[in-house]
Amino acid sequence: MADLADIAQAHIETVAAVAVKNVSAKVYTGKSSLYCCECGEPIPEARREAAPYCSLCLDCQQLEELKNVGRGRKMNV
């Protein structure tokens, strides 16, 4: 069973790997991230076109905005 340190380390490794992919991708696209900065999944082209400069996939963006609603911020999806 993984403890919190293992889960945190796995998340850090995922975020770092996605950051490297996105840095490489931005050299070519100059806009949105090709991979979600939260989960590492590819961001569909339709989302990248609809939301230029996005860094999260739709699912992660919605989760992030739900967290923000609880903090009194508005949604942008």
Which x/- pattern over 9-48 shows residues binding Zn ion (rule: CB under 5 A)? ---------------------------x-xx---------
Q: Any contact of residue 57 with Zn ion (CB under 5 A)?
A: yes
- The C-alpha atoms of residue 60 and residue 57 are separated, in whole angstroms, by 5
Q: Residue 38 CB, nearest distance to Zn ion (Å)? A: 5
Structure token pair of residue 71:
């903090």
What residues does 42 pair with on adjacent strands? 35
Coil, strand, or helix at residue 42?
strand
> Which residues would be at the binding site for Zn ion (CB under 5 A)?
36, 38-39, 57, 60
